[in-house]
Structure 1
Amino acid sequence: MNPDDPRVRRTRRRLRTALLSLAAEQELASVTMAAVARRAEINRATAYQHYADLDALVADAMEDAVAHVAHCAALCPLDTPDDATPAPLVDLFAHVAENAVLYRRMFAERGGARFSELLRARLTRELLSGFVEGRRPARHVAVPAELHASYVAGALVGVVAAAADTGRSPDADARDTWLLLTR
């Protein structure tokens, strides 16, 4: 199957959209590939031609969210003064608040460990790229960039999961996370 074929891209987009729609309505553990295929208005066998199982579809469907979180985190200037929360961090938590139901379900249910690992790995890669280029606080340069990126990524996964549950404002979550990262 050619992933560049417009029909393949269209079918995968329909499957991802159907999954996210179902996940917003019901617990992810109760979603089946058959239900996703029905919602996408395609044959279940076709769905399995594109994704080996529901977990693979879930991971692909969440890629946009993972990319958004990673992009925001990578834009954070880690040398911002402690009393000024970086705007990309506020954007990150605004995104989580807007999609809180989906994030709660992704962290808590089917594929929770897989989603956490996907998010942590993507965050680590994005952060490491910036850290290697020197975009990190001078007080941390003695720490290997790989370790620093892994540490910040793990912390962000934890606070994103918590933010999906708290119902606090994105500004408060961003401010408090910034305080934790800069202390």
Structure 2
Amino acid sequence: MTADAAVPRASRLAAESGEPRALRSRRLLVDALLSLLAERPLEELSVAELCRRAGVNRATFYGHWADQRALAAAAFTELVDALAEVPHSELDDLDDPAAAGRYHDSLRGQLRYVLAHRTTFRALFGSSADAGFRRALTVALQRRADLAVRLWVERGVAPSDTPPEFADYLAGGLVAVLARWADGDDTDVDAAARRVEQLLPTWWPRQAPNT
């Protein structure tokens, strides 16, 4: 499965969920953005072109975002956040190798998606929109990390005195890793994921070497 295939197309999600018109328009614009980015870089796109591709008027666009960079920042924050999700309700035993595999696969999925859209992520991390993009991505991943750490503490995997700031530290570090990955030329996703996992606490659910 490709990185793109791991995230359902926005227009299909809108059609299946019976979303209100405003939200459907928003998702159509995200679809248009992803379609156009497959043809050329973010710097060459315009709001008018995005609206034509989406079949949405510019007033609707500006009701959500200031410009195409703001749309891209919001869209790619949501896409990375979706890939970061690990369904904790399905994890009965965090010591089970399958549980560790879920976290490993989530990290690889994020790295793989950034690799597939490296030019766009470079533009987002390296532009005037950088601060807003980093902040939004950090907040999204912090929420995931906070839920995970609380679960691990409840199940006795993480120490009971794990500070709440650990989730902030983890999310901020992961965003920095993704920014570095986007800016580099490395393409070995598995090796990159292993390097990141080596930085995590010993209690963090992880796969055994060579699995």
User: 2:37 & 2:68 partners in 1: Cα distance?
Assistant: 12
Q: Which residue of 2 aligns with 1:23?
A: 37
* 8 Å contact kept, 2:73–2:124: no
Q: Which has the higher helix share?
A: 1
Distance 1:95 1:123, change over 3 A: closer
Q: How does 1:1-183 map to 2 (within 5 A)?
A: 6-72=20-86, 86-100=101-115, 101=117, 102-109=120-127, 111-133=129-151, 134=153, 137-138=157-158, 140-145=159-164, 147-164=165-182, 165-182=184-201
Q: Is the alpha carbon distance of 1:70 and 1:98 closer, same or farther for their aligned partners in structure 2, counting shifts above 3 Å? A: closer
| Aligned-partner Cα distance in 2 for 1:111–1:12 | 20
Paired letter, 1:182: P
Task: Provide the TM-score with structure 1 as the length reference.
Answer: 0.74
**Percent identity (aligned):** 33
In structure 2, distance between residues paired with 1:105 and 1:181: 28
Query: Size of the alignment, in residue pairs?
Result: 174
Superposed CA RMSD: 3.3
- Please give the alpha-carbon distance, in whole angstroms, between the structure 2 residues aligned to 1:29 and 1:110: 12
Q: Which amino acid aligns with 2:133?
A: F
Q: Quick one: which amino acid aligns to residue 93 of structure 1? A: R
Q: Indicate if the aligned counterparts of 1:131 and 1:149 stay in contact, CA closer than 8 A.
A: yes
Normalising by structure 2, report the TM-score. Answer: 0.66
Q: Is the 8 A contact 2:142 2:167 kept in 1?
A: yes
- Spell out, residue by residue over 1:77-113, the C-alpha distance to the aligned partner (whole angstroms, 9 max, x if none): 9x769xxx64423333234324422333332335222
Q: Bigger relative contact order, structure 1 or 2, given CA contacts below 8 A and separation 6+?
A: 1
1:93-151 Cα deviation digits (max 9, x unpaired) = 2343244223333323352222211111111112112323316854x543412x11011
